A and B are shown apart, each in its own frame.
Chain A
Amino acid sequence: MTYEELLKNTALADEKFVVMTAENRALVRNLPPVLKNRFIDTGITEQTMIGAAAGLALRGRVPVVHALASFLTMRAFEFIRTDVGIPNLPVKLSSFVPGFLSDGNGPTHQAIEDVSIMRGIPGMQVFCPADEQDLVLSLPKIWSSPHPSYVRINTRKSDYQHSTDFEIGKAEVVSSGTDVTLLVYGMLFDETLKAKAILEKEGLSVGLVNIRTLKPIDEKVILDIARKSELLVTIEDHFLIGGLYSILAETFLRNRMTAQVLPLSLTERWFKPALLQEVLNHEGFTGEKIAGKVIAELNKKPVSKA
């Protein structure tokens, strides 16, 4: 099933759902004739759309709103925080082309601080599905939650079969490993799977966790792998500050723990705009490059040699 089909079925089955967009129609192109007046395109007005979504939610609706990730989270930030966050209204944010998915658009369109700023809003839940299958199997629980949510929409296809028992606040543990565990969310899942295969060929015991829910975080899984694995690697198309690496740091500090963690993130700069595969290559996020960085890190630590 596609995102659009799921949204259509959900809205047709339940009158509470309204679909809104700030003229970002890529994900919802076929919905206007089906949903009629429950499809509301406000034009290029992210802030006004969010305010109106809050008004609709006050009346008992569940608005699923669409806009490009950087404009949704940053242009409309104060509206999300003030009109959705303060009253904790069930407005469901669907963010289009987050992270590396903005590929050739350039820094204006790069939402690589979105996880950081959205998780800073009290009550806001934050989700980053690995691919279309993961997205579609996660959304029913996200949309039926009484809380506001932010979802990094990722409709890329993958051959990987995810576990279907999605729960808010639970990570998907793909494998456990004692040498290294790769923690990833969103579109980098596929490249991380490739990295895992390369590392395993090197004879390493490799864990892989698809974080899925960035807030609330699966603290139990993180603490568990930190005890079992020599090295943890956070892999994210996000700034170093405020993303998964920060979440790990917060989690460890809260539990008076520490761990050897290698962060693979964007540090104090935007990424070079290009087609996606070029971006991954240039920024060092292909499976091969991820694996290479992990091996280099392990080689720094003589005790962790397999």
Chain B
Amino acid sequence: VYLYSDFLNLNKSNLSDPNRDYLFLSKGHDVPALYGTFAELGLMEKDRLKNHLKTNDSIYWHPNRNVPGVEFHSGSLGHLPAVAMGVALDCRMRNQKNKVLVVTGDGELNEGTVWETVLVASAQQLNNLTIVVDRNQFQANVATEDLVPLEPLADKFEAFGCAVKRIDGHDFNQLESAFRALPFHATKPSVIIADTVRGKGLPSIEARADRWFCNFSKDEIASLLKELHGDATTDLHSETLTVR
């Protein structure tokens, strides 16, 4: 929300301008947040969200480039850091000053290509490339630290040649001061590790591995909406979908 509404030089009128800022959503499963933000900011018509999973549109569980504002399709983890690096290389070749951001998950950091890309981007001294890690501590089924521990994460990125800041990803002031400080170093790619809570604002689902991909009932959704505004707790009975 912060990036699209405030930071990025990106709006309805410059979506194909080569001087725009780029944001690549590598953790493609975050697409509801992306399209929700697009709809709120007028990049996408709100009605279009009703086409979710309809074959007459391209709105499904991962991003598709047929939706204006989506720079590249994602879904397979560990791809878009490399794609974003290619864009950043070209922006630099053309002496453009725009920024190229790529948002990854933390579980996604299991993928070797993230680290390959970081090595190459460091070698290329790409200071126009920023990797934003959504550090919500969970991957599909379990806590990251219970499976393939990532900490000390900032040290890892630093050792791979990046300049790193770690912030509270829910604090708009911290987001603002970190993003406004980009690039963090003249000859290094930047990394922002944003500590987040999955399901933030909804205590019934916050930080629960079994509550991130669910088919909630209408009543549950109504109650969750109230909960979001601080008035209820929700008794959730729906089964987690089992595609992961």
Q: Which residue in chain A gives the minimum CB-CB distance to B74?
A: A82
Q: Which residue in chain B gives the minimum CB-CB distance to A76?
A: B113
Q: At the interface, is chain A mostly helix, strand, loop or mixed?
A: helix
In the complex, whether B200 has a CB less than 8 A from a CB of chain A is no
Q: Which residue in chain B gives the minimum CB-CB distance to A51?
A: B82
Interface centre among B81, B84, B90, B113 (most CB of A within 10 A): B90
| Known A-B contacts A52-B85, A58-B86, A87-B73; A45 and B116 likewise in contact (beta carbons under 8 Å) | yes
Alpha-carbon gap, A58 to B89, bound state (A)? 12
In the complex, whether B123 has a CB less than 8 A from a CB of chain A is yes
| Known A-B contacts A55-B85, A56-B87, A56-B89; A82 and B76 likewise in contact (beta carbons under 8 Å) | yes
Alpha-carbon gap, A47 to B87, bound state (A)? 16
Q: Shortest CB–CB separation between residue A281 and chain B, in angstroms?
A: 40
| Known A-B contacts A43-B120, A43-B123, A48-B117; A55 and B87 likewise in contact (beta carbons under 8 Å) | yes
Residues of B near A119 (CB, < 8 A) are none
- Which residues, 79 to 103 on B, are CB-close (under 8 Å) to A? 79-93
Q: Shortest CB–CB separation between residue A35 and chain B, in angstroms?
A: 11
In the complex, whether B44 has a CB less than 8 A from a CB of chain A is no
> Is the pair B86, A55 in contact by a Cβ cutoff of 8 Å?
yes
Alpha-carbon gap, A45 to B123, bound state (A)? 13
Alpha-carbon gap, A45 to B114, bound state (A)? 11
Q: Shortest CB–CB separation between residue B89 and chain A, in angstroms?
A: 6
- Which residues, 199 to 227 on A, are CB-close (under 8 Å) to B? none
In the complex, whether A61 has a CB less than 8 A from a CB of chain B is yes
Residues of A near B143 (CB, < 8 A) are none
Q: Shortest CB–CB separation between residue A249 and chain B, in angstroms?
A: 32
In the complex, whether B72 has a CB less than 8 A from a CB of chain A is yes
In the complex, whether A93 has a CB less than 8 A from a CB of chain B is no
- Which residues, 40 to 77 on B, are CB-close (under 8 Å) to A? 65, 71-73, 76
Q: At the interface, is chain B mostly helix, strand, loop or mixed?
A: helix
Residues of B near A57 (CB, < 8 A) are 86
Residues of A near B82 (CB, < 8 A) are 47-52, 54-55, 79, 83
Q: Shortest CB–CB separation between residue A59 and chain B, in angstroms?
A: 4
> Is the pair A48, B113 in contact by a Cβ cutoff of 8 Å?
yes
Residues of A near B120 (CB, < 8 A) are 42-43, 45, 48, 52
Residues of A near B92 (CB, < 8 A) are 37
Residues of A near B76 (CB, < 8 A) are 78, 82
- Which residues, 115 to 165 on B, are CB-close (under 8 Å) to A? 116-117, 119-120, 123-124
> Is the pair B89, A55 in contact by a Cβ cutoff of 8 Å?
yes
A38, A47, A59, A61: which contacts B116 (Cβ < 8 A)?
A47
Alpha-carbon gap, A57 to B85, bound state (A)? 12
Q: Which residue in chain A gives the minimum CB-CB distance to B94?
A: A59
> Is the pair A51, B119 in contact by a Cβ cutoff of 8 Å?
no
Q: Which residue in chain B gives the minimum CB-CB distance to A79?
A: B79
- Which residues, 1 to 33 on B, are CB-close (under 8 Å) to A? 18
- Which residues, 22 to 54 on A, are CB-close (under 8 Å) to B? 37-38, 40, 42-43, 45, 47-54
- Which residues, 73 to 90 on A, are CB-close (under 8 Å) to B? 78-79, 82-83, 86-87
> Is the pair A51, B85 in contact by a Cβ cutoff of 8 Å?
yes
> Is the pair A56, B119 in contact by a Cβ cutoff of 8 Å?
no
Q: Which residues of A contact B (CB under 8 A)?
A: 37-38, 40, 42-43, 45, 47-61, 63, 78-79, 82-83, 86-87
A-B contacts, 25 of them at CB < 8 A, read: A40-B89, A42-B120, A43-B120, A45-B116, A45-B117, A48-B116, A48-B117, A51-B86, A51-B113, A51-B117, A52-B85, A52-B86, A53-B86, A54-B72, A55-B82, A55-B89, A56-B87, A58-B86, A59-B86, A59-B87, A59-B91, A79-B82, A79-B113, A87-B65, A87-B72
